Structure 1
Amino acid sequence: MSLVVMKFGGSSVGDTERMKRVAKRIVAKKEEGHKVVVVVSAMGDTTDDLIDLAKSITDRPAAREMDMLLTTGEQVSVALLAMAIQELGTPAISYTGWQAGMITDEAHGRAKINDIKPKRIMESLEQGKIVIVAGFQGISDDGEITTLGRGGSDTTAVAIAAAIQADLCEIYTDVDGVYSTDPRIVKHARKLDAISYDEMLELANLGAAILHPRAVEYAKQYNVKLVVRSSFTNAEGTLVKEEAAMEQGIVVRGIAYDKNVARISIQGVKDEPGILAAVFTALAEAGIDVDIIVQSGISNGTADFSFTVHLEDAERAKSVIEGIRDRVEFEKVTSETDLVKVSIVGAGMVSNPGVAAKMFDVISKQGVNIKMVSTSEIKISCVIDVTHLTEVILALHSAFDLDTNQTAFVGGPKERR
């Protein structure tokens, strides 16, 4: 008898009819002879509705109270799903994150998991019950309810799988696996039978919304066997594991994009030691993450440089830089939005020279200017105007031989959390 963790996102349990279908799928898994733990997100738009409620009260809700509020969404899901399973004649029990032993730090809204004490989960499994756990939430050592932030339910599922030494962790979503790119853009995107942790982590970090990076990191750290599959079909899905066999001739495994990009440019910076350190220390102290950094040539003792930040941080980044004029001499700081970062990913790129040149050539043939570039051993990213996203993705997908004759399956609205 194997031990399986199944995670279902918000659209999979978006209403009671979908919840009943999910319940039948879970019961079928148990009837195949497995012990089953299920992690569930809040139903449909519940989280957005709760956030709107809070905003109707105050523009600046306390982080602690937001955690108290938002965790109720998952509690509704687990209770209803347990009822649906019980209605099918199968014993089930629901737990909040803290009842399931999810111990976190005290960072409200973005807590990290410190420990999992799955005693109650294991006891319920031994009693023959299906265990339903609320994703996205936990409790700190001092008894404060916390939420894990974006991707929290994926992370919950993988963390529980590691803690109970599950044989498999299945992440159910609205597509039937990991595709070579967004199947909403490329209808003939290639579904991958398997992908390595490192490749999946790069794709997740670069904008692919199938799995959250923290969940992939956890799976890699604890060697959790992870499968991404559809809530709407019985397709096999995509296995995420330590190493994935390369398909013959396929160097690039996937193409990701991120629209949440802004470019900040600082012009006329005095060329002297410590300037860059001062700028990026100030940004770090303000909690602003910086991605790509490019410095231009030096002229008359000054230089220009640019960097990218998350779109939501653009104005704050400009304010931070303006605030250090007493320490850093520069002419002006500007920001540019309406950008997208397009990235190609593949472990095979390490041993295949010319991949970057090919990417640049494909983009240039679309008449598109590349504004910034970033590379690593298994990825290349280019920042371009967002208006050219679709044509560039389609061109790159074809150029790197990722097109197939099959139409990609997209079963429903994008999953949440």
Structure 2
Amino acid sequence: MPLAVYVLGLSVFALGTSEFMLSGLLPHIADDMNVTIPQAGLLVSAFAIGMVVGAPVLAAATQRLPRRATLLALLAVFGLGQVVGALAPSYEVLFASRVVSALACAGFWAVGAAVAIATVPLNARARAMGVMIGGLSIANVLGVPLGALLGEGLGWRSAFWAVGAASAIAFAGVLTLIKPIPLPERHPRLRQELTTYREPQVWLAVVMTALAGGAVFCCFSYLSPLLTDLAGLDEGMVPVVLGLFGIGALAGTTVGGRIADAHLFGVILSGITGSAVLLAALALFGQNAPAAVVLSFLLGFTSFFTAPALNARVFNVTGTAPTLGGATATSSFNMGNTGGPWIGGLVIDAGLGYRGTAWAGAVMALAALAVVAGSLALRRRRGGDGGRPSTVVASSEQAAEVAREHTPKPAPQPAAD
């Protein structure tokens, strides 16, 4: 892996901490802002909506801008969004700060993923995405539990200040450790790239990714009150369980990233099936504290086990759209991160309790498996992923050519940025 990929992964740590840390802060935010927990849960959806919208828009808007400068600008906006969130006097301001932060986060993901994919061979795409997603896993291992601890000891606003500091460190890392990245010799043609969305496999990849992510976040977004109200755990134990979820996520990302390039659909099917079983088990046995703890760890593993493969799948079927490929992957995951907490809130408001969020997640996972089966059936019927070579990469040689066109070339002068 090139150094740039690891630096991007470390930067994603700050972004991921902000995206996921609310799962341990919802009760505190709800009390301070005088809103219900489902309303506080909409802050998770607000971030995800910003990611869905921001990824394609910013990927298109920044396609002709220097890559490193774009990454730095997005990190700066993201950090300012955390500061505004920490100072927010009302729920509405906090909501707006989450959307702005999400837009910057989405742009970083889209640009960063495109850079990571373009700097590695075709058969290392899932590993490269595994490194970036590893930043999310570390965010779950360290960032989310630490955010919950800060929320317990110093108030939820201190967690936002901490993420702002982490984003400043990420800014320094990108500035000092990633060299100026010249633009591709051939500028992307967005109108041509948009034709890739005529391909059914692209939409099947988007839907399976959204459902797989939504299944987990439907429950995970409300894991803190589930653990305290249903399982009866003390609030002080919540950061520990969130840390276990993160350890499982890191292990899942590591294992999934290593084998997904060779067994992509096998990883997707087994991971989503595992998540469906574990969510159903959490619904059935969540009132038992030891069971809830163990199931939270295992759910972290299965949910992130599939992430590198799902990312690589999106990139594979959008192979001739390198500008929009990263944006499509980012938007797909965050469609699930938007819908999952929203559905979970509806379930809670309907009187089904926090146990109901796990049942709803299990149903979404089963729907994701049905979409995966449909994608495989279409693939077998066609003898490949696409019927039109112009929209889907039909061979490894063609994919390599696309990658070469968009791989940064050595700059004639160091002032390329």
TM-score past 0.5 threshold = no
Structure ranking higher on relative contact order (CA contacts 8 Å, 6+ apart) = 2
The answer to which structure has the higher strand fraction is 1
The answer to which structure has the higher helix fraction is 2
Calculate the TM-score normalised by the size of structure 1: 0.29
